[in-house]
A and B are shown apart, each in its own frame.
Chain A
Amino acid sequence: MSTSRIPFVRMLRCLVVWSALTATLSGVLGAQEQPAASQDAEIEKEILSIEALKNDAMQKGETKVLEEIYSDSLIFVNSRGKLLTKQDRVKEFASGNVKYSSFRQGDYRFHLYGNTAVVTGLACSVVDHHGRVNQTPRRFTSVYVKLAGHWRFVAHQATLVTDSKPGDLQYCNN
Chain B
Amino acid sequence: MQSVLVVFLVTLATHGIVGAQKTDGANANADIEKQILKIDDEKDHAMQRYVASHGEAGGAELDQIYADDLVFVTTHGALLSKAQRMQDLRSGNLKFISFGRDSYDLHVYGDTVVMTGRATSEVIYQGKVNKVPRRFTNVYIKLGGQWRLVAHQATTISEQ
A interface with B by C-beta (< 8 Å) = 73, 75, 77-83, 109, 111, 113-116, 118, 120, 137-141, 143, 145, 147, 154-155, 157-165, 168
Query: Scoring B residues 33 to 74 as 1 if CB is less than 8 Å from chain A, else 0, what string do you get?
Result: 000000000000000000000000000000000000101011
Residues of B within 8 A of A (CB): 69, 71, 73-79, 105, 107, 109-112, 114, 116, 133-137, 139, 141, 143, 150-151, 153-160
Known interface pairs A159-B73, A161-B77, A164-B77; A141-B153 also in contact (CB < 8 Å): yes
Q: Among the interface residues B78, B114, B155, which one has the most CB atoms of the partner chain A within 10 A? A: B155
Q: How many A-B residue pairs have CB under 8 A?
A: 120
Select one of A81, A116, A143 contacting B157, CB under 8 A.
Answer: A81
Q: Which residue of A lies closest to B134 (CB)?
A: A81
Chain B neighbourhood of A164, CB < 8 A: 77-78
Closest to B132 in A: A81
**CB neighbours of A162 from chain B (8 A):** 76-77
A73–B156 Cα gap in the complex (Å)?
A: 23
Q: Return 14 A-B CB contacts under 8 Å, by A number.
A: A77-B155, A78-B155, A79-B155, A82-B157, A111-B151, A120-B151, A139-B79, A139-B153, A141-B137, A143-B112, A157-B155, A159-B154, A163-B74, A164-B78
A158: B residues at CB distance < 8 A? 155
Partner of A81, one of B107, B110, B156: B156
Q: Please pick, from A73, A115, A138, A160, the residue contacting B107 in the complex, using a CB distance under 8 A.
A: A73
How far in angstroms is the closest Cβ of chain A from B18? 18
Q: A166: shortest Cβ distance to chain B, in Å?
A: 13
Do A138 and B112 touch (CB < 8 A)? no
Residue of A with least CB distance to B117: A83
Determine how close the nearest CB of chain A comes to the CB of B136; give it in whole angstroms. 8
C-alpha spacing A120/B69, complex, angstroms: 12
Q: How far is the CA of A111 from the CA of B139 in the complex (A)?
A: 12
B77 touches A163 (CB 8 A): yes
Other than the given A141-B137, A141-B139, 7 more pairs (CB < 8 A) read: A77-B153, A118-B150, A118-B151, A120-B71, A159-B73, A159-B155, A165-B78
**Other-chain residue from B105, B110, B159 in contact with A115 (beta carbon distance below 8 A):** B110
Query: Once bound together, how far apart are the Cα atoms of A157 and B135, in whole Å?
Result: 9
